[in-house]
Structure 1
């Protein structure tokens, strides 16, 4: 990325008669690129496969445990974690998993 030395805005790249140039869209600054420069126009990124770090069963064993009544089987212990699901000014959501029947619920 190149920035305008006059007004500090981002310069736009363009080709003029086969020659590359950077120009400012705010002020009249133009900078022509020498022929020695190599310009890459496009790079295709490929998405890598994700590795499973913790399986669902491993996660339950590693979760913090608390006293919480399961709405499914009424067991009194559950694993839990907290996650921010809305904007930062609202409280985080608690997600529970029953240690007995593996039922999931949130608060």
Structure 2
């Protein structure tokens, strides 16, 4: 492969598999809008938390409120402790322990 001496400096795209090299000669700016991917709530959403029991033993990390919806689920192997899920009654923050 021969390299043009005028194109030896600057940025290059180099293929890690083959010997292809592309010298970047100009800056291309293209704005691409980012779209947040829609994700299903595997815990059941707001309806599941509305049916959950409330507890006064958990303090919200965001607003400090002492009442939260609470349920626990086995998310790991059976010999590991269950994961506790909380949702603040006041600010609706979700967290787990």
TM-score, normalization by structure 2: 0.51
CA-to-partner distance for each residue in 1:44-101, whole Å, 9 max, x for gaps?
Answer: xxxxxxxxxxx63332321110011100110110001111111100110000000011
1:56 and 2:45 correspond: yes
Structure 2 Cα separation of the partners of residues 104 and 83 of structure 1:
15
| Structure of larger gyration radius | 1
- Computed over aligned residues only, the root mean square deviation of the Cα atoms, in angstroms, reads 1.8
Task: Give the match for residue 85 of structure 1.
Answer: 75
Structure 2 Cα separation of the partners of residues 84 and 57 of structure 1:
20
SS state at 2:48 partner: helix
Q: Which runs of 4+ in 1 moved over 6 A?
A: none
Structure with bigger RCO (C-alpha 8 Å, 6+ apart): 2
SS state at 2:79 partner: coil
Structure 1 Cα separation of the partners of residues 46 and 77 of structure 2:
30
SS state at 1:59 partner: helix
Structure 2 Cα separation of the partners of residues 56 and 83 of structure 1:
15
Task: Give the match for residue 84 of structure 2.
Answer: 94
Match for residue 55 of structure 2 among 43, 66, 72: 66
Structure 2, unaligned runs of 5 or more: 1-43
Structure 2 Cα separation of the partners of residues 75 and 62 of structure 1:
20
Structure 1, unaligned runs of 5 or more: 1-54
